[in-house]
Chain A
Amino acid sequence: MNTLTSAPTLQVNEEGYLKNYQDWNRDWATEIAHQYNISLTPKHWDVLNWLRAKQAEGTALSVRKVGNSGIVDIKEFYALFPGGPLKISSRIAGIPKPASCI
C-alpha cells in the first residue's frame, strides 16, 4: 500500500482490505477509490454507507442485495465500480472482501 500518500495510512490485510472497521474515514476511502480510477460521487457514497451499515448489522452481502437496496440497480452498481463491483466497493467501504466460506 505504498501508493497511499495524502490519506492517513491505515492497517490493511495482505489484500489491501481494512483491518478495523472503525478506522475508516472519507479521505482514506477517496484515496483507495483513486487507485481504481474512481472519483467518488454522492451516489458512490450512498452505496458505501449502505454497505457499512449492512456490515455493522452483521448481514451477509451480495451484489444482488446491493441491487435490491433501492440505491442502485445491478447495472448502475457495475457502472459505479467497474470490474468487480462488490469486491471494489467493499474495499473502499472498509469492510471485508466478499468471500465464500473457503
Chain B
Amino acid sequence: MKTILILGGGTAGTMMANKLRKQLPIDDYKIQVIDKDENHYYQPGFLFIPFGIYQPEEVVKKKKDLFSPYIDFILAEVDRIEVESNLVILKNGATLSYDVLIIATGSQVVPEETPQLKGKLWYKDIFDFYTYEGSVKLAEKLANWQGGRLVINLAETIIKCPVAPLEFTFLADAYFTEKGIRDKVSITYVTPLPGAFTKPKATKMLSQLLIEKSIEVIPDFYLQSVDNERKVLISYDEKEVPFDLLVSIPVNKGSDVIERSNIGDEDGLNFVPTDKYTLQAKAKENIFIIGDATNVPASKAGSVAHFEAEVLTENILSYIKGEPFKEKFDGHSNCFIETGYGKAALIDFNYTTEPLPGKFPFAGLGPLALLQESRINHWGKLAFKWVYWNMLLTGKKIPISHQMSMAGKINEEELIKK
C-alpha cells in the first residue's frame, strides 16, 4: 500500500484528492488529506459579501463532505515536513509517512507584516475582505457608513486573485451609487504597481472604466506603515494618503508550514520553489506543489489551481509509474472581472500571452467577450460558484482546456505581420 499525502484541503487539495481517487486503485493507494480548518470557504464569494450580494452562509461548506469515498480527511494542523525522511509531523505530535507528497497549503493575508495595519483601527476603520471574518465585518461597516474617503490599498503585488481589489473598487462605486450616497464618497485605488492596469492591451481596453466611475488611482505607492492617529497610509518614500475607511489587501504569504520545514523561497514569503511546467518541487522529486502555495509566475487563482490539477494528476500518475512527465502547465489563467451594475469582463492568458481582446468560445454559454464588459460575463461569474462546488472540487471535467487556446483572440501584432 502506498500513500499519497496532501497538505491542505482547500481548492487545490480537494481537487487533487478527488481526481487522483478516480485514477488510483483503492487497494494499492491510500489518499490522505490534512487541513486545520473544518470549513471550506468559497473565497471568490468574499468579494460579494461586503455588498450584501452574497450572504456569509452561502460560501461555507464542511470540508469532510467534499471528498469522495476512500479519501481520509484528517482535521489537524501540520507542523512541518521532514523532506529527507518523507515524514509529515502534525502539531498534535503525530507523524505521517508518505510516498508522494502534494503541498496545497495556499496563501494567506498577513496584516502583521505592515506596522500598525492591524492596529487600533483594525475592523473599525481598516478592513480586509480576503478572509471570511474580514468580509463579514466589512459588510456590517458598509451597511452603516455615511461616506467619506474610501481607500483601497494593495500592500504587495504578489497577491491571490490579483483582480479582486479592482473588482471590489468597481462594486463599491455601484454600491454607493445605488444607495444614493456616491456624491459623499470618494474612491481612491492605491497600488504599488505602475498603474491599476499594467498590461498594454488591458490598459487600452479597460482604463476608461476608472474614469467613467470617478476612481482616483495612485500608482507606485509601496506601503510602509499606517498611522492610526492621523489615519494616513505612509509609503517607503514618505508619501502619504489619507483615508476615512481603508480596505486593505495585506501582504500575502504562504503557510507557516513552509517556513518551519525550511523549504520556502529564500525571500521569506513562504512560497515553495516549484518547476513552473511540471509542478514538481525543486527540493525533492516525490514532492509536488499546486495552487497558491507555489512560487510559479502564474496568477494565484482558483482557475489556475484547476488547470494545474489536470496537469498534476497526469504527472503524478507518470511519476508513480516511473515514466517521464507527459503534461506541462503553461500558466493558463481565466478570470472574470466584475465591473458593477450586473456586468463583468473576462481575461484569459498564460505565462507568455498577455490578456488579449476578442471572443472566448464557451460551450453552452456562447462566446464570451474578452477584455470587454458584458452581462453574460457577469452571469458566468455568478455561475462559477455552482461550477466550483459541483464540478471543480469534485474533479469533473469542465469544457475548458488546461492549455490556453488562441481561438477567438485578436492579436494585433499577428494581424500586422499578415
Asked, given contacts A101-B335, A102-B199, whether A64 binds B236 with beta carbons under 8 Å apart, the answer is no
Cβ-defined contact, A101 with B163, below 8 A = yes
- With a cutoff of 8 Å between Cβ atoms, the chain A residues found around residue B268 in the complex are 68
Cβ-defined contact, B198 with A102, below 8 A = yes
CA distance A67 to B355 in the complex (A): 29
For window 245-296 of B, CB contacts with A under 8 Å fall at 251, 265-269, 273, 276, 295-296
Residue of A59, A66, A97, A100 with highest tally of chain B CB at under 10 A = A100
Q: Is the interface of A mostly helix, strand, loop or mixed?
A: loop
Decide if A78 is an interface residue (CB 8 Å cutoff): yes
Decide if B157 is an interface residue (CB 8 Å cutoff): yes
Which residue of chain A lies nearest to B192 when distances are taken between CB atoms in the complex? A63
Decide if A16 is an interface residue (CB 8 Å cutoff): no
Residue of A66, A69, A87 with highest tally of chain B CB at under 10 A = A87
Decide if A23 is an interface residue (CB 8 Å cutoff): no
Which residue of chain B lies nearest to A54 when distances are taken between CB atoms in the complex? B267
CA distance A99 to B200 in the complex (A): 10
A51 CB to closest chain B CB (Å) equals 12
Contact of B267 among A64, A75, A99, A100 (CB under 8 A): A64
Cβ-defined contact, B158 with A78, below 8 A = no
Decide if B156 is an interface residue (CB 8 Å cutoff): yes
Cβ-defined contact, B220 with A100, below 8 A = no
Cβ-defined contact, B220 with A83, below 8 A = yes
Q: How large is the interface on A (under 10, 10 to 19, 20 to 34, 35 or more residues)?
A: 20 to 34
Cβ-defined contact, A101 with B347, below 8 A = yes
Hey, what's the 0/1 contact readout for A89-102 against B, CB within 8 Å counting as 1?
00000000111111
Cβ-defined contact, B193 with A100, below 8 A = yes
Which residue of chain A lies nearest to B163 when distances are taken between CB atoms in the complex? A102
Cβ-defined contact, B198 with A62, below 8 A = no
Cβ-defined contact, B157 with A101, below 8 A = no
Cβ-defined contact, A78 with B236, below 8 A = yes
Cβ-defined contact, A60 with B267, below 8 A = no
Contact of A97 among B198, B269, B276 (CB under 8 A): B198
Contact of A87 among B200, B220, B237, B276 (CB under 8 A): B220
- With a cutoff of 8 Å between Cβ atoms, the chain B residues found around residue A62 in the complex are 156-158
- With a cutoff of 8 Å between Cβ atoms, the chain A residues found around residue B273 in the complex are 57, 59
- With a cutoff of 8 Å between Cβ atoms, the chain B residues found around residue A102 in the complex are 162-163, 166, 197-199, 202, 206, 337, 347, 355
CA distance A30 to B86 in the complex (A): 48
Cβ-defined contact, B162 with A63, below 8 A = no
A30 CB to closest chain B CB (Å) equals 23
- With a cutoff of 8 Å between Cβ atoms, the chain A residues found around residue B295 in the complex are 59-60
- With a cutoff of 8 Å between Cβ atoms, the chain B residues found around residue A75 in the complex are 236
CA distance A59 to B272 in the complex (A): 10
Decide if A84 is an interface residue (CB 8 Å cutoff): yes
Decide if B222 is an interface residue (CB 8 Å cutoff): yes
Decide if A65 is an interface residue (CB 8 Å cutoff): yes
The 5 closest A-B pairs by CB, nearest first: A99-B198, A102-B202, A65-B267, A68-B268, A60-B297
- Excluding A69-B267, A74-B224, 20 further A-B contacts by CB distance (< 8 Å) are A59-B273, A60-B158, A60-B297, A62-B157, A63-B222, A65-B267, A78-B237, A83-B237, A84-B220, A86-B157, A98-B198, A99-B193, A100-B157, A100-B198, A100-B199, A101-B335, A101-B347, A102-B198, A102-B206, A102-B347
- Enumerate chain A interface residues (CB-CB to B < 8 A): 14, 57-60, 62-66, 68-70, 74-75, 78, 82-84, 86-87, 97-102
**Can you name 18 A-B residue pairings with CB atoms under 8 Å?**
A57-B273, A59-B273, A59-B297, A63-B156, A63-B192, A64-B113, A64-B158, A64-B267, A70-B266, A78-B222, A83-B220, A87-B220, A98-B194, A99-B198, A99-B199, A101-B335, A102-B197, A102-B202
- Enumerate chain B interface residues (CB-CB to A < 8 A): 113, 156-158, 162-163, 166, 192-194, 197-200, 202, 206, 220, 222, 224, 236-237, 251, 265-269, 273, 276, 295-297, 299, 333, 335, 337, 347, 349, 355
